[in-house]
């Protein structure tokens, strides 16, 4: 592991690309390794033991490719088992959690909503997070089955996507939330639609920038930032169907990228 080693990121699919993009913007000289564990997606309905098994397997792969830090770019995986993952490996491991604290701070009415996978909302880590940061704030939870899978299809503006978003957002609006937390990184790809459907009086909160800033802080503290002003290299890996993943990367990152199968 050296300063020129890559930053590893992984998710069950393309959701974590939104975080990878923020990391790339902040750290243009860093090499990035991104893994979509698409063969085992979605993570949101998996048992904690299975998630830890997959998280360990993907982390082992990233370390075998020389990763100097690992970003668990998935809310479900983070809230489920990141503490155990950190006990297994010596490199910095950064996670992503639903932004309850910033939402509670910016709420005007004291009623905030959370859009997330059913799996995320059931974890002890999420429950503890809500209890820790939401004093004086009412939290309305909205599980969103099938939404992450729909976003994986890249049909962002399709009738089915809009219908799913309306189904999940409408109950929160009826409960008078003024802030909606995006509790799954997949939802970042349709944040503009969520904002449009929720209306101008509702603030949308995600944590992709906060996570990227934390990556910068951790690498700085560990003395692991890449030296020089060269352009970093990107590699994208999947455990799923390569052609489908290549199409996803081309649309969400750009053509001509290095896309490989695990």
Residue that is written with structure tokens 């930032």 in the block: 225
Give the pair of three-digit tokens for residue 34: 């991104």
The 8-class DSSP code of residue 65 comes to T
Q: Tokens 């449009």: give the residue.
A: 196
The Cβ of residue 252 has, within 10 Å, a number of other Cβ atoms equal to 15
**Taking Cα atoms as reference points, which of 39, 99, 92 lies closest to residue 67?**
92
74 is catalytic: yes
Please state the φ and ψ torsions of residue 76, each to the nearest 5 degrees.
-60, -50
Tell which residue, 114, 118, 43, has the closest CA to residue 82: 43
Structure token digits, residue 179 = 């802030």
Structure tokens that stand for 89 in this block? 């490996």
CA dist 227 to 94, 220, 235, Å?
A: 21, 11, 19
What is the distance in angstroms between the CA of the first residue and the CA of the last residue of the chain? 21
Q: Mind telling me the catalytic residues?
A: 74, 184
């Amino acid at each position: 592991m050296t300063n020129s080693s890559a930053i590893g990121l992984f998710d069950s699919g393309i959701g974590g690309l939104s975080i990878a993009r923020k990391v790339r913007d902040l750290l243009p000289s860093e090499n990035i390794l991104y893994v979509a564990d698409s063969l085992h997606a979605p993570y949101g309905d998996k048992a904690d033991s299975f998630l830890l098994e997959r998280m360990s397997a993907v982390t082992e792969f990233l370390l075998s490719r020389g990763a100097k830090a690992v970003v668990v770019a998935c809310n479900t995986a983070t809230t489920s088992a990141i503490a155990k993952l950190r006990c297994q490996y010596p490199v910095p491991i950064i996670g992503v959690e639903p932004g309850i604290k910033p939402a509670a701070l910016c709420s005007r009415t004291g009623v905030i909503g959370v859009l997330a996978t059913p799996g995320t909302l059931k974890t002890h880590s999420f429950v503890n997070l809500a209890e820790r940061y939401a004093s004086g704030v009412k939290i309305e939870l909205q599980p969103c089955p099938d939404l992450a899978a729909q976003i994986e299809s890249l049909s962002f503006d399709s009738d089915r996507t809009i219908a799913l978003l309306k189904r999940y957002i409408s109950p929160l609006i009826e409960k008078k939330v003024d802030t909606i937390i995006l509790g799954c990184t997949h939802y970042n790809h349709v944040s503009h639609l969520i904002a449009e459907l929720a209306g101008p009086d509702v603030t949308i909160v995600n944590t992709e920038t906060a996570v990227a800033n934390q990556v910068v802080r951790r690498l700085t503290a560990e003395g692991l930032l890449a030296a020089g002003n060269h352009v970093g290299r990107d590699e994208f890996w999947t455990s799923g169907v390569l052609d489908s993943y290549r199409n996803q990367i081309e649309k969400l990152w750009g053509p001509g990228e290095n896309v490989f199968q695990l």
